[in-house]
Amino acid sequence: MTTAPLRVAIVGAGPAGIYAGNILHTALRDADGATSGVEIDLFDSLPAPYGLIRYGVAPDHPRIKGIVSSLHEMLDAHDEGVERRRIRFLGNVEVGRDVALDELRSRYHAVILATGAIRDAALPIPGIDLRGSYGAADFVAWYDGHPDVPRTWPLDAQSVAVIGNGNVALDVARVLAKHPEDLRSTEVPDNVLEGLERSAVSDVHVFGRRGPADIKFTPIELRELGEVPGVDIVVHDEDFDGVDPASAPNNQLKVMLRTLNSWRTRPAIGATRRLHLHFWHAPVEVTGDGRVEGIRFERTAPDGRGGIVRTGEFRDYPVQAVYRAVGYFGSEVLGAPFDARRGVVPNEEGRVDGIPGLYATGWIKRGPVGLIGHTKSDATETIGHLLADAAAGRLAAPTEDGDITALLDERGVEATTWDGWLALDAHERALGESHTHVRERVKVVPREEQVAISRDGVLTP
């Protein structure tokens, strides 16, 4: 095996990167449970860890807390008998800007790319670029307090279309339809809460190209949608022709179809906000003169072979805003090969094509599909190949000595650390406790403020 300690850099501190680091460290423990010699540095362009768990999940998802706790334990753990953490976190460091990928490769035996997919996938229809048309990822980043997006969001539309039938589409629709007072107990940032309190939204329409039996939601997401206080759920009988929950291929889909069917007969409460679910609608064009005024769809139908066909029937809906939630797309990592069509780093089971010692895991490896469980198995595969390459002597030894932090300091990069995150975490929790409506935390949004708190070790607001 490569001369110990094996030095590995991981680019991306979301679940994919953290799981990869933890799996690698665990694999290199000896029979007594002590580390057999691995040093892992986890880089992220953001000052705080957790990636899309912190900046890509709606703030009213309590189940995410369990995932965060698990990730926290992995990063907070120390090697037994050694005064250092198993994985060193270095935030506010953008690979390709603050340090080149080649500079990492010269200082580590291996580099793992775990940068995920944060951009919206394209929806190539006429009018999609009109004012009032947005990508769901941008809206999610806003309501999750991402430091690199504007602090305000235009919420002047009364009727809104959300295109997509996945969990992100439901998150966007739920946040748009939900009354602000029902978000006050969450970690939603203050600027977001203020924006939502001024929202003019009364009707949110969610459109899917396929039928109810082809939804990509999860049961918990759908159940949460039906539990939003003060919002009427509207579904349409014509979309359920021939849909039989009993014939669904798995229990998860059976549960969701039963839920949707129950909404068909649920009486309206006369709420001031309504959430409409439409199926068998393929987007054709966003219409308007300079800004969004409506959206046109073509009705679809099953083709009998698991696909859909266009019917030639068109329907127009007057809306003043459109959110496309048709998937995420990866971003290029400077210095690494990139498949611009698929939005991934070309690789073979995690080994990046043509570059020994460079690996990929998570969405930048396989595209933005799958849940947390897939991320774990994905990281296991990649780490397995990395360890095999190390054992076979295929990993080149670092050609540059010295700690990477010395290079970052020399360049004036204000890197944040795990201890800095603990300070920021404590600061946000203290803000929540002192809030008029006591909350678990209030996120600090500005990057410079996050960095200052992290580097100064401020523990109270």
Residue 431 lies in a domain: no
pLDDT at 31: 46
Structurally, the chain folds into a number of domains equal to 2
Is 455 inside a domain boundary? Answer: no
β-strand partners of 416: 91
In a domain, 457, yes or no: no
Question: Where among 328, 353, 376 does a domain terminate?
Answer: 328
- Please return the burial class of 145, using the count of CB atoms within 10 Å of its CB with bins 0-12, 13-18 and 19+: buried
Return the amino acid letter for 423: A
Instruction: Enumerate the H helices of 133-211 as residue ranges.
Output: 136-143, 167-177, 190-197
| Coil/strand/helix, residue 286 | strand
242 and 339 in a single domain? The answer is: no
293 and 167, same structural domain? yes
Distance in angstroms between the alpha carbons of the first and the last residue of the chain: 49
My answer on whether 130 and 111 are in the same domain is: no
Is the residue at 189 inside a domain?
yes
CB 78 within 8 A of CB 46: no
Domain endpoint, select from 262, 296, 328 = 328
Q: Are residues 113 and 149 in the same domain?
A: no
What distance in Å separates the CA atoms of residue 178 and residue 339, rounded to the nearest whole number?
38
Answer whether residue 392 is part of any domain.
yes
Structure tokens at 255: 């549960």
**Whole-number Cα distances in Å, 86 to 333, 389, 430:** 25, 21, 28
299 Cβ contact list (under 8 Å, min separation 6): 280, 281, 282, 310, 311, 313, 314, 315
> What angle separates helix 64-76 from helix 15-27, to the nearest 10 degrees?
40
Tokens 């895991």 map to which residue? Answer: 361
In angstroms and rounded to an integer, the radius of gyration of the C-alpha atoms of the chain is 24
Give the model's pLDDT for residue 242: 82
C-alpha span between 117 and 363 (Å, rounded)? 6
State whether residue 68 is helix, strand or coil.
helix
Same domain, 257 and 318: yes
The CATH number of whichever domain residue 67 belongs to comes to 3.40.50.720
HSE-CB for 110 with a 13 A CA cutoff: 35
User: Is the link from the previous residue into 126 a cis peptide, with omega within 30 of 0?
Assistant: no
Q: Residue 183: which CATH number? A: 3.50.50.60
The contacts of residue 172 (CB under 8 Å, 6+ apart) are 136, 139, 140, 162, 323, 325
Q: What is the pLDDT of residue 418?
A: 95
315/305 Cα distance (integer angstroms): 25
DSSP string, 293-322: -EEEEEEEEE-SSSSEEEEEEEEEE--SEE
220 located within any domain:
yes
Mark whether 281 and 177 lie in a shared domain: yes
Long-range interactions of 257-265: CB distance < 8 A, separation 24+: 257/212, 257/213, 259/219, 259/222, 259/223, 259/226, 260/212, 260/222, 260/235, 263/226, 263/233, 263/235, 264/235, 264/237, 264/240
Beta bridge partners, 152, equal none
User: Do 318 and 341 fall within a single domain?
Assistant: no
Q: Classify each residue of 95-120 as buried b or exposed e, where b means 16 or more C-beta atoms within 10 Å of its C-beta.
A: bbebbebebbbebbbbbbbbbbbbeb
* Boundary-marking domain end, from 328, 360, 395: 328
* 106 plus 127 within the same structural domain: no
Q: Are residues 180 and 251 in the same domain?
A: yes
Determine the structural domain holding residue 60 and report its residue range: 6-118+330-415
Give the pLDDT confidence score for residue 450 in this predicted structure.
96
Residues of the chain with pLDDT under 70: 1-4, 30-36, 62-65, 80-83, 371, 373, 458-461
Residue 384 lies in a domain: yes
Length of the chain (residues)? 461
Task: Looking at the structure, tell me whether residues 47 and 170 fall in a common domain.
Answer: no
**Tokens matching residue 133:** 């048309």
* DSSP3 helix / strand / coil % (the chain, rounded to 5): 35, 20, 45
Euclidean distance between CA atoms 348 and 239, whole angstroms: 41
The pTM is what? 0.91
Instruction: Tell me, yes or no, whether 369 and 231 share the same domain.
Output: no
Please check whether residue 130 lies inside any domain of the structure.
yes
Residues 44 and 86 in one domain: yes
